[in-house]
Amino acid sequence: MIDSHGFKQRREDFLTRLEGKAAIIPAASMVTHHADCEYPFRQDSDFWYLTGFDEPDAVALFLPFRPEGERYVLFVLPKKETEEIWNGFRWGVQGVVDQFGVDIAHSIYELPNLLSEYLQGSEGIVFRIGKHPKVESIVLKIWNEQLDKYQRNGNAALDLIAPCKFLHSMRLLKGDDEIDRIRQACQISAEAHELARDAVCPGMNERQIQGLIEQYFLEKGARGTAYNSIVAGGDNACVLHYTANNDLLHDGDLLLIDAGCSLVDYYNGDITRTFPINGKFTGEQKALYEIVLAAQEAGISSVKSGLSAEVVHLTSLKVLVEGLVQLGLLKGTVDSLIEQDSYRHLYMHRTGHWLGLDVHDVGAYRLGEYPMELQPGMILTVEPGIYVSDRLPVPEGQPEISDRWKGIGIRIEDDVLVCAKGPEVMSSFAMKSVNEMES
Ligand SMILES: [Mn+2]
């Protein structure tokens, strides 16, 4: 049996949370790249979280109102010799019953005929609109038929509800097995950053470094990258999502690398490091680097159960702004600069995000007016930065920036687990002190 205890436990929790409602959770489909070529398959994270099943065009039903042994139904692509010759092995209908802990399985082609009957007796339909067009048309048709019949039988499932509130609050709190996997993803990602820094020298191309990092991910058995790697020399680092990665690395510039691997079960690392290409910071680079590092370390120390991602952001932001005032790049009191967003031409993003099966993982950051409280088992990134360029105008009343600062982009990012006893930096194998960045 491939199905593990972790998946079974999650399904049971999910079924409990659904109360009397039926959930329809589709797998991803293949996506065309061009002509008849496709992107590598990437399973839907909600579907994966509950099933551990890695094939396209499947649909999982969760039916808590039905008796034990009929609550978890999977529709899958049936086995077919010709398809498997071209595109690879399929588990098929019997295979998923034998291997994936499924109560009942059917061919996906039966979904339009059988779905209506499976939904009988449910108090509502839990389904995400707008993401799965093929399944959506079937679900909406059946929902509409139920609405039509409601007058006659009075017990149709009238509500259509997004799965977020049932499923994403679960995904936000990682189980021990998930934490282990993310730890491994972070370790491999961190090792690749160390490898890259060792290899870099002036005259190389960004793409060579990208190749080195991604090769290491594959060598270590990862599926590939968690997101498009950012390998940005000099001023390119001021483009937050720079992925062209095809410039020369110049003597005297910094190199910013934001890269992480995705394991075969989709758990991710997400790490950024910035260091001098020639092994020696200039005065300006070092001054800014020290501020970002101090901001990041302050942010990490505030990752505590009972606090919030908002507190982490504000803690880092205060240190950043204070440092920029001291260097004369900002003018005013720290509080008023933050209140008026007068730092945004130098720091234009938030300090972090949840990390899990999605790199920018699901889960609310706020509950109405209150920020989500951090709890043991949550994982977030802490990634402040400073980006000095002409791309954004200097806000009124703020000092013009002298050319010697321009073209410096710095970000430092670690992946941090909230623990009862304090933060655990899962990506700590990648070094970041000023001395370690110089060699
Ligand atoms: Mn990130």
Model confidence pLDDT, tens digit, residues 289-338: 999 999 999 999 999 999 999 999 999 999 999 999 999 999 999 999 99
Cα of 425 to ligand 1 centre, how many Å? 14
Domain boundaries, the chain: 5-170, 173-437
Distance between Cα 383 and ligand 1 center (Å): 7
Q: How far apart are the CA of 45 and the centre of ligand 1, in A?
A: 18
| CA 347 / ligand 1 centre spacing (Å) | 15
Decide if domain 173-437 falls under CATH 3.90.230.10.
yes
- Nearest CA to 344 among 278, 276, 396? 396
Alpha helices in 69-163 (DSSP H): 81-87, 92-99, 111-118, 133-153
Confidence (pLDDT) at 5:
79
- pLDDT value of position 405: 98
Active site residue ranges: 36, 241, 258, 270, 349, 353, 360, 383, 387, 411, 413
Fold of the CATH domain 5-170: Creatine Amidinohydrolase; Chain A, domain 1 (3.40.350)
Distance 185 CA to ligand 1 centre (A): 14
Q: How many CB atoms lie within 10 A of CB 138?
A: 18
- The pLDDT score that the predictor gives to residue 2 is 75
pLDDT over 90, % of the chain: 93
pLDDT at 148 (0 to 100): 85
User: Which residues are registered as beta bridge partners of 118?
Assistant: none
Q: How do 124-126 and 159-161 pair as beta strands?
A: parallel
DSSP string for 202-235:
TT-BHHHHHHHHHHHHHHTT--EESS--EEEEGG
Name the stretches of the chain with pLDDT < 50.
none
